[in-house]
Structure 1
Amino acid sequence: MRTSIFVLTVVLLCLSLLLPSIASAQRTPDLSGIWSVGGVRTLSNETPPMTPAGQKKFSSNKPSYGPRAIPPALGNDPAGKCDPLGLVRLIFFPRPMEIIQVPGRVLQFFEWNHMWRTIWTDGRKLPEDPDPRWFGYSVGKWEGDTLVVQSTGFDDRTWLDQFGNPYSDEMRLEERWRRVGDTLELAMTLTDPKTYTKPWVSEKKLFKLQPKEEIREEICVPSVEAEFNRRTRDPAAGVTNK
């Protein structure tokens, strides 16, 4: 009898310890699914003032879109060489993105170039001096129904958007992801004192759930892109290849 009571007590104690974590897991919002953003190309229509270093870098970028657009063959958009787009530009790129949640991390899979990204949610801190990465190093935590992501350690050899807005290796990015039904809301705050004189706060971006979609293989192939440039873009801009 005493043994039965002891066993029952141990079981109840274990359950009392497990139930809060189980309940917490059940309360974690579900962001999973395939999402698509439309009509978004940059954080907001108003770019914050640039520092002299930021302005110099911006002036050297020659985009094929926006008020400074020139023919692609005369520009230097990294995307024209199939270089990685960088995180912000990839998130807003007009291709589907899939989110998968697993214990300790949230994974984002992007159709364009079949890229993927890890957001660590296991309680770790951002590293002090991470090696530069195209998508940075990201950690996230839940604040109510919102996944708050902090990222740093970005490789600055690409652009923020198709308009040639730059960033530096000092950029820090905060993302706030929140699901409302079949809509995923995103707000970003970009802080980069080397490039901008104040934080760049985005407008709220909306992603729509695509339940019948799947992530296809769409890869930018450097040899194919180079051939397209030679046959199409360069002649259209009057560039002669000898």
Structure 2
Amino acid sequence: MNVKSLKFTFGAALAVVMMAGGAHAADAAAPEKKVVRHESKLDKKVPQPFWVQIPPSKETLESTKIPRTADGLPNIFAEWVANWRTIAPDGREPRELRPTDRIKPEDFASKEKYMEFVNRDMSTNPANRCIPSGGARIVSSPYKLEIVRTEEGARHQKVVFLNEQYSIIRRAYVGDFKIQPNQEVRGQWGASNGEWQDRSGDGKPDTFFVKTTGLNGSWLEQPGLTYDDGTEFTEEYWLSEDGNTLHMLETITDPKTYSKPIKHHIWWSRAKTDAEAVHDEYICYVESATPELLLLKYNSAKK
């Protein structure tokens, strides 16, 4: 079994184990009037799973110090490596969940929606049939991510996300090339528009903001949460001060299913070697992706 197969087995097996717990974090706080970008304080003792939003520290990111491109944009255009140890202490064992990590009945828009979640059929997980994850789910994948863009100053600018998992390509359209409201776009990954924002107020862009609509409905996260076809999700990308960590805050808004927006904080490390920068071939075999077989392989790997 090659490395990529092992990654898939451990990652998917962990998903099976975590499904029973329904791990998730919902954001109940109202947004502040003044939006400020913060650095996140990572817990060094207990590795955090990538689907849990980590409370930010009070340290404000100074956008004047981050590495920039020749035209002044935050240089997020690189190969980024997800740390599998952020999922669990040794990459396989699920970490102990905090009470705030679990989704609660009051997080749903109605009792009916909550009961749909309670009685969900885990065998319908698209990943069990090697169907690529859609929309909001793919951005939380703990695989490598490469970000590129069209040439500087291009009128039809695109920021392109190349995901190692399923070899998925996502495009965020910027400037004059943005998808307009009258353009009906609906699909598994929806339609994404992006813009550069100045969150620190120093006159320089420090955040790449992406808004996605037009989703056709799919599984939201590993525990089996779903979303409606009217769901909107946004991504905010920013760099650590030294430029070696890419942070992303994802906000999912689906008033038909959930009573409040759900937020995730995810991060990647900049690839340091040529080997890290190479995307592995991602191959998924349907016969190896059943929950029962994955759990069996997971238990065998622990021995």
Question: Normalising by structure 1, what TM-score?
Answer: 0.70
**Percent of aligned pairs sharing the same letter:** 25
Residues 105-128 of structure 1, C-alpha deviations (whole Å, 9 max, x = no match): 100111111110000012425434
Structure-2 separation of matches of 1:139 and 1:25: 23
Deviation at 1:211, TM superposition (A): 3.2
- 1:183 alignment counterpart: 245
> How many residues end up aligned between the 2 structures?
193
- 2:283 alignment counterpart: 219
Q: Secondary structure at the match of 1:138?
A: strand
- 2:181 alignment counterpart: 127
- 1:101 alignment counterpart: 149
Query: Would the aligned equivalents of 2:192 and 2:211 in 1 still touch at CA under 8 Å?
Result: yes
Matches within 5 A, 1:115-154: 115-123=168-176, 124-128=178-182, 130-143=184-197, 144-154=205-215
Structure-2 separation of matches of 1:207 and 1:79: 23
Deviation at 1:54, TM superposition (A): 3.2
Report the residue type matching 1:107 in the other structure. Answer: V
Query: Would the aligned equivalents of 2:76 and 2:239 in 1 still touch at CA under 8 Å?
Result: yes
Structure-2 separation of matches of 1:112 and 1:183: 20
Query: Would the aligned equivalents of 1:175 and 1:187 in 2 still touch at CA under 8 Å?
Result: yes
Structure-1 separation of matches of 2:271 and 2:72: 23
- 1:62 alignment counterpart: 121
Matches within 5 A, 1:1-242: 26-38=71-83, 39=86, 45=101, 47=103, 49-52=107-110, 54-63=113-122, 75-102=123-150, 103=154, 104-123=157-176, 124-128=178-182, 130-143=184-197, 144-156=205-217, 158-180=218-240, 181-202=243-264, 204-212=265-273, 213=276, 214-220=278-284, 224-226=285-287, 228=288, 233=293
**CA separation of 1:46/1:186 partners in 2, compared to 1, >3 Å: closer, same or farther?**
farther
Residues 189-225 of structure 1, C-alpha deviations (whole Å, 9 max, x = no match): 21111111111233x32211113221122022xxx32
Structure-2 separation of matches of 1:235 and 1:206: 27
Query: Would the aligned equivalents of 1:118 and 1:138 in 2 still touch at CA under 8 Å?
Result: yes
- 1:14 alignment counterpart: none
Deviation at 1:30, TM superposition (A): 1.6
**CA separation of 1:101/1:229 partners in 2, compared to 1, >3 Å: closer, same or farther?**
closer
Report the residue type matching 1:198 in the other structure. Answer: K
Report the residue type matching 1:187 in the other structure. Answer: L
**CA separation of 1:114/1:159 partners in 2, compared to 1, >3 Å: closer, same or farther?**
same
Deviation at 1:37, TM superposition (A): 2.7
Q: Secondary structure at the match of 2:165?
A: coil
Q: Secondary structure at the match of 1:131?
A: coil
Query: Would the aligned equivalents of 1:114 and 1:219 in 2 still touch at CA under 8 Å?
Result: no
**CA separation of 1:61/1:78 partners in 2, compared to 1, >3 Å: closer, same or farther?**
farther
The CA RMSD over aligned residues, in Å, is 2.7
Higher Rg of the two aligned structures: 1
Following superposition, which runs of at least 4 residues in structure 1 exceed 4 angstroms of deviation? none
Deviation at 1:129, TM superposition (A): 6.3
Structure 1's unaligned 5+ residue stretches are: 1-23, 64-74, 237-242
Q: Secondary structure at the match of 1:121?
A: strand
Q: Secondary structure at the match of 1:207?
A: strand
Deviation at 1:234, TM superposition (A): 9.5
**CA separation of 1:59/1:29 partners in 2, compared to 1, >3 Å: closer, same or farther?**
same
Deviation at 1:185, TM superposition (A): 1.0
